[in-house]
Structure 1
Amino acid sequence: METKQICVIGAGISGLVTTKTFLEEGYNVTVFEKQKGLGGVWEQSRTYPGLTTQNTGDTYSFSDYPMPASYPEWPTAEDMRNYLNSYAQNFGVLERIRFQTEVTNVSRKTGEQPRWVVTIRVKDGNGDETREEKHEFDFVLVCNGTFSIPKLPSLPGREEFVASGGQIMHSTEFNDASIIEGKRVVVVGFGKSACDIATLGANIAKKSSLVFRKPMWKVPRFFLGLVNLKYILLTRFSEAWFPYRQMGRVEKLLHTLGKPLVWAFWRTNEMLIRLQFGLDSCGMLPEQPMNQVNCTISIAPPDFFKYVHSGKIQAIKTSIAKFIPDGVELANGQQLQADVVIFGTGFTQELPFLEEEYRRQIIDEDGNFNLYRYLIHPNIPQMGFVGYNSSFYSQLTSEVGAWWLLEYVKGNLLLPSPSAMYQEMVADIDWMKTQYHSVVARATCITSFSLRYTEQLMEDMGANNQLGVWKGISQIMMPVDLSLYHKLRQELKSQRLK
């Protein structure tokens, strides 16, 4: 068999594990990465001071490459970069990456040998001049991620504010603490980055304000100051309390006859958090119950709520109406003086480089992504997506997704008909709309069912899900043991060789 030419777009977590997976099977892989370094969200130019992972390191590593024991429990952005660099070097991925190379167009070339034509814009060593190149590939793996295009609101008065010396940036552009040192900073948003930066501002800025539309559930690193969140949230047991479109018998029982139990489980968790953080007294009690949110739960930075209560962080529930020469005017009419305004307002999910005909099939009119198993589109040949299944275990869902795509490329998967795949895709989005009253993150987030999802992928690949993942009560109650997935993969490989 002729070695297939594989293109991987992006060298973040998804791109690295996908490249490694295909390299191991003898494919010729080229990776295009527009930044200077690898790591995606962890790349140096995109990370803010004090950034750490949301997960503990032991639940945020690849299944066959544990993080060094010397790392802190919540690794820093620098730790993550070092880990990912080490992974890329160890598995021969690094020499496959072309840095400072942006993919500008991916279009289909028809004919006897249909292939993908990938147009790239390459920067020179200084990042000044660019040249364009075109390359052909048999298969394209899109790993640019759902956190690659910053979302910045367009507000009036911007020019006047900047002209008077003000600075405006997205959280991904804030990578030097001195930018806010001794300054008046206004942070917009309530996600992880917004709360992290507002907390940093409380320590080093002249004044730190947080403007947010609505509070979202935050969880502590240690519940009641004692129990590590991984024992509460990162287990197969905790996932069972979220409903799922395709539940097993025990889960169906839990979410029908056991509904009062499910209700009590979530209200107990909410009560613990309300008490620990004093949510009621600081006006930060979310409107939606915890079990109605999917991808908006994040870790509270240590001291965040303490600073809100003491006033070190001035938290205001509203939005910015416009910029004024020395700050911002809020929708409630209040004016805030500011030197720096930082938007922790998330990201836009898009595929700007993909040929329009295909882009329209993947992204519907509401902006939602329609992918079977969050990995392929039935009508788009020779293309896969990794990282469009974002979760608390992004490294695991990307890794198992890459294995699934490898089996797909090799023709080892018994897939349903295209019409059956379409039905599945529609059912997934309809279920999200019913369960969460909206489609979160453009249907690219699976936080509430990520472990069940990986089980589904393993079953598609022919692994009996009793092969070793959930044997025994301890594995259901304890934080996910990633090495089990490595064992499962080895068993799958040996099955293929028989």
Structure 2
Amino acid sequence: MDTNSSPSTAVARAGDSTAAPARNRRIAVIGAGIAGLAATKVLTAVGHEVVTFDVEPDVGGVWCPTRHYPGLTTQNTRMTYEFSDHPAPSSWPDYPDAAQWHSYLRGYADRFDLGASLRLGTGVTLAKPTADGWDLRLDNGDQVEAAHLVVANGVFSRPLIPEWPGADAYAEAGGVVKAPSQGLTLADARDRHVVVVGYGKSACDTAMALSAIADSVTLVPRRLFWKAAKNLLGKHFEDVAITRLGEALFGNPKVFGPVFGVLSRATIKQQGLAPLDLIPPGRFEEILSSSASLATDGFFDAVRAGRITVRRDRSIAELRGGADRTGRPEAVLDDGTVLPAGLIVAATGFEQDVPFLDNSSSLRAPDGAFELFRNVLPHQTPNLTFAGYNTSLVSSLSAEAGAIWIAAHLAGALTLPPTAQRQAQVRADLAARAAQTRGKHASGTVVLPRSLGNIDKLLGDLHAVLPRRVRMKQWSRRSFSTDFRETFGAAVRELRSAG
């Protein structure tokens, strides 16, 4: 087999496996977002009975309508965010809005007949390992047994809202605190002074959207970081970041320092950051260290026009409210500035947690990072894998590759290093990520800047590889989801036929 010219795989002949081959086992998946849907589809296709739980009433994870917020669009273009075998409508804009992307994921579930596997509006409160697999307790009181558990609850599933002093008095005065994903609406901001905490995509998206209706909008970022322009120096962001050349550049910042110097100066000029005093303190290459945030359309223009005020390098010290002062809710910053704040949008990130897993601490390093080989497989807990814990610039593709890897693992078709060697590799990877991101690596789940490199490793374990012609194209242009269609499809077909 010439793997440089063919998308074929050798997963069924890989030999020494870490899992006993099995077919037609009941697999439980927790989460029906992008990763959960991919896992459900792949595992069903290779012959397993799959039941997928999600506490939300519909599919989509962060794209479920209950979690939408004003101004939400995809950060990827649809061409790099879609699944490899389910194209988004070409008539859609390059950056679809939240409703469109939810309909895309709903269409994925419908096209591949996943409905029979989905138990939506049903949460898992406890998952306990047994001699034969897992015992799941549901929030409706039911009990479900499964031979294998896939955790796909998402690394952006649980908003992390600071516990500010004075919150009770603030609420009594009518103040409201919400994360963007907690049902935030435009109506929440009407006739209110709004304080948005954070500087990520959701912070800037909501600040822009709410500025059209709020009395005032103030953004309070503890630390500024670089915002990528969609187009810079005649190149689209994805034609740099989502290429093999781009991964080599961002993966070796010291070698390519002059390149990043040019990019930072061009970004400062194009976005007009100097007059706004919004030049970030870090190096430009950090834009792909722990996250990649595109500049929200019109955001810097709104700051220039005074519709949005940015209090950089600040944080909220306490909340106030009540008749003993002005009677209105307020936020006090760490420099003593007092802001009227009828609504506080806490765009302060997420907590990566698995509260339903019994003894989940055994899965983590002392610093809280998940110790997972390939961001999928724990070292000691049998019959357990993770899906979507490889955050990248191509999340849907990473989810698909991870799902196929899980299917191969369950089929006994992977040849993996011994446990001790895997542990050493994971420790080294986590240390490198922590150093690169100042510890902001989403509990070890971030694989940036090597989004494609992570997929290469997953495919390599399956004895699969993208055709040479495809890999060569990906050096000079963005990697489209369709690049992976043949290789992913061949891997699934081979796993299915081997069973």
User: Match for residue 82 of structure 1?
Assistant: 103
Larger mean CA deviation between 98-107 and 480-489 belongs to 480-489
Report the alpha carbon displacement of residue 176 of structure 1 after superposing the two structures with TM: 1.9
Q: Distance in 2 between matches of 1:438 and 1:167?
A: 31
Cα separation, partners in 2 of 1:151 and 1:47, compared to 1, 3 Å: same
TM-score, normalisation: structure 2: 0.90
1:316 partner amino acid: R
- Structure 1 position 71 matched with structure 2 position 92: yes
Secondary structure in structure 2 of the residue aligned to 1:18 = helix
Q: Mapping of 1:470-489 within 5 angstroms?
A: 470=471, 472=472, 474-489=473-488
- Structure 1 position 46 matched with structure 2 position 67: yes
Residue deviations 1:367-409, cap 9 Å, x none?
A: 1111000001121111110111011111110110000110000
Q: Mapping of 1:174-193 within 5 angstroms?
A: 174-193=183-202
User: Match for residue 3 of structure 2?
Assistant: none
Report the alpha carbon displacement of residue 222 of structure 1 after superposing the two structures with TM: 2.3
Q: Distance in 1 between matches of 2:489 and 2:24?
A: 23
Q: Distance in 1 between matches of 2:440 and 2:188?
A: 36
Q: Mapping of 1:366-385 within 5 angstroms?
A: 366-385=367-386
Larger mean CA deviation between 188-197 and 164-173 belongs to 164-173
Q: 2:319 aligns with which of 306, 316, 323?
A: 323
Cα separation, partners in 2 of 1:413 and 1:468, compared to 1, 3 Å: farther
Instruction: Tell me: higher relative CO, structure 1 or 2? Use CA pairs within 8 A at least 6 residues apart.
Output: 2
Q: Mapping of 1:219-258 within 5 angstroms?
A: 219-223=228-232, 227-243=235-251, 255=252
Residues 180 and 201 in structure 1, CA contact (< 8 A), matched pair in contact too: yes
- Structure 1 position 430 matched with structure 2 position 431: yes
User: Match for residue 302 of structure 1?
Assistant: 297
User: Match for residue 145 of structure 2?
Assistant: 136
Q: Distance in 2 between matches of 1:133 and 1:274?
A: 56
User: Match for residue 414 of structure 1?
Assistant: 415
Residues 363 and 369 in structure 1, CA contact (< 8 A), matched pair in contact too: yes
Cα separation, partners in 2 of 1:363 and 1:286, compared to 1, 3 Å: same
- Structure 1 position 339 matched with structure 2 position 339: no
User: Match for residue 5 of structure 1?
Assistant: 26
User: Match for residue 461 of structure 2?
Assistant: 460
Q: Distance in 2 between matches of 1:205 and 1:56?
A: 30
- Structure 1 position 203 matched with structure 2 position 212: yes
Residues 368 and 439 in structure 1, CA contact (< 8 A), matched pair in contact too: no
Residue deviations 1:144-178, cap 9 Å, x none?
A: 01011110000111111111111111111243211
Residues 147 and 347 in structure 1, CA contact (< 8 A), matched pair in contact too: yes
Query: Could you tell me the percent identity over the aligned residues?
Result: 31
Cα separation, partners in 2 of 1:28 and 1:493, compared to 1, 3 Å: closer
1:150 partner amino acid: P
Residue deviations 1:101-136, cap 9 Å, x none?
A: 1111111112xxx221111113xxxxxxxxx11111
Q: Mapping of 1:339-358 within 5 angstroms?
A: 339-356=342-359
User: Match for residue 257 of structure 2?
Assistant: 263
User: Match for residue 251 of structure 1?
Assistant: none
Residue deviations 1:16-40, cap 9 Å, x none?
A: 0110001111210001110111100
Report the alpha carbon displacement of residue 492 of structure 1 after superposing the two structures with TM: 3.6
User: Match for residue 309 of structure 2?
Assistant: 314
Q: Distance in 1 between matches of 2:158 and 2:300?
A: 29
Larger mean CA deviation between 230-239 and 31-40 belongs to 230-239
Residue deviations 1:35-57, cap 9 Å, x none?
A: 11110001111110220000100
Segments of 5+ residues of structure 1 without an aligned counterpart are 123-131, 244-254
User: Match for residue 406 of structure 2?
Assistant: 405
Residue deviations 1:3-23, cap 9 Å, x none?
A: 100000000000001100011
User: Match for residue 19 of structure 2?
Assistant: none
Residues 211 and 307 in structure 2, CA contact (< 8 A), matched pair in contact too: yes
Q: Distance in 1 between matches of 2:163 and 2:100?
A: 34
Secondary structure in structure 2 of the residue aligned to 1:480 = coil
Cα separation, partners in 2 of 1:434 and 1:165, compared to 1, 3 Å: closer
Q: Distance in 2 between matches of 1:349 and 1:495?
A: 34
Residues 468 and 488 in structure 1, CA contact (< 8 A), matched pair in contact too: no
Q: Distance in 1 between matches of 2:260 and 2:23?
A: 54
Segments of 5+ residues of structure 2 without an aligned counterpart are 1-21, 322-328
Residues 47 and 77 in structure 1, CA contact (< 8 A), matched pair in contact too: yes
Report the alpha carbon displacement of residue 179 of structure 1 after superposing the two structures with TM: 1.2
Residues 429 and 439 in structure 1, CA contact (< 8 A), matched pair in contact too: no
Report the alpha carbon displacement of residue 71 of structure 1 after superposing the two structures with TM: 1.2
Larger mean CA deviation between 478-487 and 347-356 belongs to 478-487
Report the alpha carbon displacement of residue 63 of structure 1 after superposing the two structures with TM: 0.4
2:302 partner amino acid: Y
Residues 469 and 488 in structure 1, CA contact (< 8 A), matched pair in contact too: no
Cα separation, partners in 2 of 1:390 and 1:43, compared to 1, 3 Å: same
User: Match for residue 287 of structure 1?
Assistant: 281
Secondary structure in structure 2 of the residue aligned to 1:387 = coil
Q: 1:96 aligns with which of 99, 114, 117?
A: 117
Secondary structure in structure 2 of the residue aligned to 1:203 = coil
Q: Distance in 1 between matches of 2:153 and 2:118?
A: 14
2:344 partner amino acid: V
Q: 1:117 aligns with which of 94, 114, 135?
A: 135
Secondary structure in structure 1 of the residue aligned to 2:88 = coil
Residue deviations 1:263-318, cap 9 Å, x none?
A: 11111111111111122222222222122351233011111111112221111021
Report the alpha carbon displacement of residue 490 of structure 1 after superposing the two structures with TM: 3.4
Secondary structure in structure 1 of the residue aligned to 2:300 = helix
Q: Distance in 2 between matches of 1:468 and 1:416?
A: 30
Q: 2:156 aligns with which of 141, 147, 152?
A: 147
Secondary structure in structure 1 of the residue aligned to 2:90 = coil
Q: Distance in 2 between matches of 1:167 and 1:397?
A: 37
Report the alpha carbon displacement of residue 479 of structure 1 after superposing the two structures with TM: 1.1
Larger mean CA deviation between 178-187 and 83-92 belongs to 178-187
Q: Distance in 2 between matches of 1:102 and 1:495?
A: 33
Cα separation, partners in 2 of 1:30 and 1:192, compared to 1, 3 Å: same
Q: Distance in 2 between matches of 1:176 and 1:434?
A: 38
